[in-house]
Amino acid sequence: MSKYTSQNNHTQVVQLFQDGHYFFHKGLKAYRERNLSRASKLIQRAIVLEPENVEMLSQLAIIYTEMGHYQQSNELLDFILEHIDENMSECHYFKANNYANLGLFQEAYKSATAYAALEENGEFADENDDLLDLLDMSDEEDEDFPYDQDDLIVKQDQANYLLESGRLDEAIEMLEQMIVEYPEFWSAYNNLALAYFYSGRIHQAKEMLNRVLHENPGNLHALCNQLVFYHYEKEAEKVNVLAEQLTHVYPILSEQRYKLGATFALVGEFEWAFKWLYSLYKTGFQGDSTFLYWLASAAYHTGHKSLAQTVWDKMVEEDIDADEIKPWQDKPEETEPMVSIEERLTAYYVSKQKGERDVLQSVLDARAAKTAFEKQFIELLLYEDEMEERSFSEDAIFAKQAAASLEEAVQPDSHMPYFWLFHIIQQARASGVDKKNAPAWAAAAYYLWMNEQEESSVSKKEIAASFQISAQTLSKYEHVICTLID
């Protein structure tokens, strides 16, 4: 008779796999074998089953430290102190080490001092004293610390605000400064990658993301951003592979669950999106309107239609600027043919030529612009006279100037190849090349287009003259464009 046949033995097997200690001890075994990645995943699964087990949480924090995930470690330690055991003094010592590794010496000193005050003769007293000596701040209260944690927090909040407001150039400038000042503050790297991506600097965005994943492997926010990039670039196979990998992640912290759930919702993995977003909702998580939007969408697409409507109503009640179109109703792709970004940009510019300001404004009002770059381009077409008061991205200004150069240089009754010009601009944005001298770009694009027309006999010299540049300059940019599109 099989040992799993009897009722008693069967019960023991079920209990074994429902018990978080099973995964915890497997995680400890992996930790002793120095397989930190496997250890962290197993202990994450244990914590899902026992979310307030201090031993598991603190062990995961230690593993994160050894993996170089100092921020994630500190988030767990703060969670323990704030929600489970405020007297667990060793958390302060571990936080001090994490801050020191991040280069946040002021915060490291505060945490080390907090531990010393609580545990004069504690388990880590000697190590803590050594850390304080290393920091050498105890007797110099007025000393300027190498890094200012308050400055970091303020800059992070400002950068997030700029990013969420669509002021991408300003966000990029601030985030680029932050990664120089705080070279291991991975949140800034991830936000910078997003800012690059949404401003059309695809090449730089990917480089930044690869840098994070190389120096901080397993960074959940970076992996989620990579999935978003694949989705927008319509890399279906890559989306499927990475989404499958992320289904095996068991995030503990609210911020991580939010990021993972929202990312799954964006790429259409609604079952997993609902799992993580609803787990937050049940705990009373006070998310913003974006959180409610994605939860409503995930709920609807997983059959929880009553909940979806309840969440949607709550979002509309809390956000007076909320889009009136429900996420499950906003499916134009099902009834309309796919329209490329080049076609959309052409339509926007032609509307501007015709003086159809109401058409352009309606696109903004309906939030129909599919990318931040498009939104900026439309705003520039509408409010070019207010450039001193408003902030427009460099890419939007470049695209507008190139199109205007084409319009001015070519006879009004000629067929203007705006679609081709915007295609070239998209290639330039994706490659990350410097985009200067918009008239030269427009001239070279027009020259290449005219060369493809069977009845065209226009010379390079004539086109250069019409764009008020030299033939040599046109040749230079012709070569640049050919390099991009080959």
Q: What is the pLDDT of residues 143-170, one digit of tens each?
A: 444 445 556 665 776 787 777 766 777 8
For 444, counting Cβ atoms within 10 Å of its Cβ (0-12 exposed, 13-18 middle, 19+ buried), the class is buried
The confidence band for 242, taking pLDDT boundaries of 50, 70 and 90, is very high
pLDDT of residue 151: 65
Q: What is the pLDDT of residues 59-80, one digit of tens each?
A: 999 998 888 777 778 888 988 8
How far from chain centre, in Å, is Cα 322? 22
What residues contact 307, with CB distance under 8 A and at least 6 apart?
A: 278, 299
Q: What is the pLDDT of residues 188-222, one digit of tens each?
A: 899 999 888 877 778 888 899 999 988 888 888 99
The CA distance from 379 to 390, in Å, is 10
Q: Does the residue 140 lie in any domain?
A: no
Domains of the chain: total: 4
pLDDT of residue 468: 92
Show which of 135, 170, 204 is a domain's final residue: 135
Tell whether the model's pLDDT for residue 2 goes beyond 50: no
Tell whether the model's pLDDT for residue 486 goes beyond 60: no
Tell whether the model's pLDDT for residue 10 goes beyond 50: no
What residues contact 23, with CB distance under 8 A and at least 6 apart?
A: 42, 43, 45, 46, 49
Q: Does the residue 339 lie in any domain?
A: no
pLDDT of residue 8: 40
Distance (Å) of CA 242 to CA 202, 233, 251:
19, 14, 16
Q: Does the residue 242 lie in any domain?
A: no
What residues contact 83, with CB distance under 8 A and at least 6 apart?
A: 52
Q: What is the pLDDT of residues 257-274, one digit of tens each?
A: 899 999 999 888 999 999
The 3 state secondary structure assigned to 32-61 is: HCCCHHHHHHHHHHHHHHCCCCHHHHHHHH
Nearest Cα to 339, choosing from 372, 371, 313? 371
**Residue bearing the bigger pLDDT, 416 or 280:** 280
pLDDT of residue 456: 58
The CA distance from 251 to 259, in Å, is 10
Q: Does the residue 54 lie in any domain?
A: yes
The CA distance from 354 to 334, in Å, is 30
Host domain of residue 35: 7-135
428 and 457 together in one domain: yes
Q: What is the mean pLDDT of residues 319-338?
A: 50
191 and 297 together in one domain: no
What residues contact 355, with CB distance under 8 A and at least 6 apart?
A: none
Residue 257 belongs to domain with CATH number: 1.25.40
Q: Does the residue 462 lie in any domain?
A: yes
The predicted model scores a pTM of 0.46
Residue 116 belongs to domain with CATH number: 1.25.40.10
Lowest mean pLDDT, pick from 173-177, 242-246, 382-386, 408-412: 408-412
pLDDT of residue 324: 54
Q: What is the pLDDT of residues 346-375, one digit of tens each?
A: 888 888 888 888 888 877 776 667 677 888
| Whole-number average pLDDT of the chain | 79
Percentage of the chain beyond pLDDT 90 is 15
pLDDT of residue 19: 65
Helix (H, G, I), strand (E, B) or coil at 307: helix
350 and 478 together in one domain: yes
Largest CA distance in the chain: 94
Tell whether the model's pLDDT for residue 18 goes beyond 80: no
Q: Does the residue 238 lie in any domain?
A: no
pLDDT of residue 449: 82
92 and 164 together in one domain: no
The confidence band for 414, taking pLDDT boundaries of 50, 70 and 90, is low
**Residue bearing the bigger pLDDT, 389 or 276:** 276
pLDDT of residue 429: 80
pLDDT of residue 108: 84
Q: What is the mean pLDDT of residues 37-54?
A: 83
354 and 425 together in one domain: yes
267 and 387 together in one domain: no
The CA distance from 425 to 416, in Å, is 15
Show which of 208, 233, 258 is a domain's final residue: 233
Q: The tokens of 433 are what?
A: 């090349």
Q: What is the pLDDT of residues 80-90, one digit of tens each?
A: 888 888 888 89
Q: What is the pLDDT of residues 123-145, one digit of tens each?
A: 888 888 888 877 764 444 444 44
Q: Which amino acid is at 62?
A: I
The CA distance from 425 to 406, in Å, is 13
The CA distance from 101 to 6, in Å, is 54
352 and 476 together in one domain: yes
Q: What is the pLDDT of residues 430-447, one digit of tens each?
A: 777 777 899 999 999 888
38 and 131 together in one domain: yes
Show which of 171, 202, 233 is a domain's final residue: 233
131 and 152 together in one domain: no
308 and 190 together in one domain: no
Query: Kindly report the CA angle at 318 between 316 and 323, in degrees rounded to 5?
Result: 35
The CA distance from 229 to 238, in Å, is 10
Q: Does the residue 302 lie in any domain?
A: yes
Q: Does the residue 335 lie in any domain?
A: no
pLDDT of residue 147: 47
154 and 131 together in one domain: no
pLDDT of residue 336: 39
214 and 311 together in one domain: no
Is residue 422 within 8 A of residue 399, CB to CB? The reply is yes
pLDDT of residue 261: 93
